Structure 1
Amino acid sequence: MAPNYKIALIQFQPKDVAVEENFQKAESYIRKAALGGAHLAVLPEYHLTSWCPEHPSFVAACAESSADNSYLARYQALARELNINIVPGTICEVHPASSSFQGKEPPSDDGDSGKQEPATWKGQPIEIRNMAYWISASTGDLAGSYQKMNLWHPERPHLTAGDIKRHRPHRAFDTPFLKPGPNGTQVPIRAGLLICWDLAFPEGFRALIADGADMIIVPSYWWVTAVDENSAKISRDAEKIFLGSVCVTRACENTAAIVFCNAGGMSQVALPLKGVLPPVGEEWDGKKGVMGAETEEMQIVDVDFEVLRVAEEDYKVRMDMGGKGWHYDYTLWRDGPKE
Structure 2
Amino acid sequence: VLDAEHNFAHASEQIRLAASQGASLAVLPEYHLTGWVPDEPSFALSAEDGSRYQQRYRRLAAELHINICAGTVVSHAPESRKNGTNDAAPKKPTLLNTSYFIDHDGQLLGAYTKTNLWIPERDHLTSSIDYAHKMSVDEGTPAATGPHQVFDTPLGPVGILVCWDLAFPEAFRQLVLAGAKIIIMPSYWTLSDMGREGLAYNANCERMFVENALTTRAFENTAALIYCNATGPAEQGFFGCSQVALPIVGKVPGSFDDGEEGMRLVDVDMRVVEIAERNYQIRKDLKRVDWHYGGLTAILMTAAAPGVDFLRFYVSHSEDEVLVTKQHEAVNSSIFRQLPRGRGIVE
- Which interval holds the TM-score relative to the shorter structure? 0.7 to 0.9
Q: Which residue does the alignment assign to 1:204? A: 171
Q: In the alignment, residue 278 of structure 1 is paired with which amino acid?
A: P
Q: In the alignment, residue 195 of structure 2 is paired with which amino acid?
A: D
In structure 1, C-alpha distance between the alignment counterparts of 2:114 and 2:165, rounded to whole Å: 8
What whole-Å deviation, never above 9, does each CA across 1:249-293 have from its counterpart, x for those lacking one? 1100000000000003011000000011122xxxxxxxxx23422
User: RMSD in angstroms over aligned alpha carbons?
Assistant: 2.0
In structure 2, C-alpha distance between the alignment counterparts of 1:258 and 1:100, rounded to whole Å: 40
Q: Report if the CA contact (8 A) 1:190-1:215 is conserved.
A: yes
Q: How many residues align?
A: 278
More strand by share: 1
Query: What TM-score results when the alignment is normalised by the length of structure 1?
Result: 0.78
Q: Which residue does the alignment assign to 2:197? A: 230
What is the aligned counterpart of 2:252 among 259, 273, 277? 277
Q: In the alignment, residue 158 of structure 1 is paired with which amino acid?
A: H
> 1:56 Cα deviation (Å)?
2.0
**Which aligned pairs between 1:85-234 and structure 2 lie closer than 5 A?**
85-98=67-80, 123-137=90-104, 139-163=105-129, 166-167=143-144, 168-177=146-155, 189-224=156-191, 226-234=193-201
Q: Does 1:290 align with 2:244?
A: no
Q: In the alignment, residue 272 of structure 1 is paired with which amino acid?
A: P
> 1:96 Cα deviation (Å)?
4.4
Change (3 A) 1:78 1:230: same
What whole-Å deviation, never above 9, does each CA across 1:26-72 have from its counterpart, x for those lacking one? 000000010111111100000111110111221111213x1xx2111
Q: Does 1:322 align with 2:287?
A: yes
Q: Report if the CA contact (8 A) 2:103-2:154 is conserved.
A: yes
Q: Does 1:301 align with 2:266?
A: yes
Q: In the alignment, residue 268 of structure 1 is paired with which amino acid?
A: Q
Q: Which residue does the alignment assign to 1:6? A: none
What whole-Å deviation, never above 9, does each CA across 1:168-188 have from its counterpart, x for those lacking one? 2111111102xxxxxxxxxxx
Higher relative contact order (CA 8 A, sep 6+): 2
Q: Does 1:39 align with 2:39?
A: no
Q: Which residue does the alignment assign to 2:42? A: 57
In structure 1, C-alpha distance between the alignment counterparts of 2:54 and 2:74, rounded to whole Å: 11
In structure 2, C-alpha distance between the alignment counterparts of 1:55 and 1:31, rounded to whole Å: 30
SS of aligned partner of 1:309: helix
Q: Which residue does the alignment assign to 1:24? A: 9
In structure 1, C-alpha distance between the alignment counterparts of 2:81 and 2:253, rounded to whole Å: 47
Q: In the alignment, residue 271 of structure 1 is paired with which amino acid?
A: L
Q: Does 1:331 align with 2:306?
A: no
More helix by share: 2
Change (3 A) 1:262 1:335: closer
In structure 2, C-alpha distance between the alignment counterparts of 1:96 and 1:252, rounded to whole Å: 38
Deviating more after overlay: 46-55 vs 311-320: 46-55
In structure 1, C-alpha distance between the alignment counterparts of 2:2 and 2:48, rounded to whole Å: 11
In structure 1, C-alpha distance between the alignment counterparts of 2:180 and 2:82, rounded to whole Å: 31
Q: Report if the CA contact (8 A) 2:218-2:246 is conserved.
A: yes
Q: In the alignment, residue 194 of structure 1 is paired with which amino acid?
A: L
Q: Which residue does the alignment assign to 1:105? A: none
Structure 2: gaps (5+ residues): 134-142, 232-239, 304-347
Change (3 A) 1:162 1:269: same
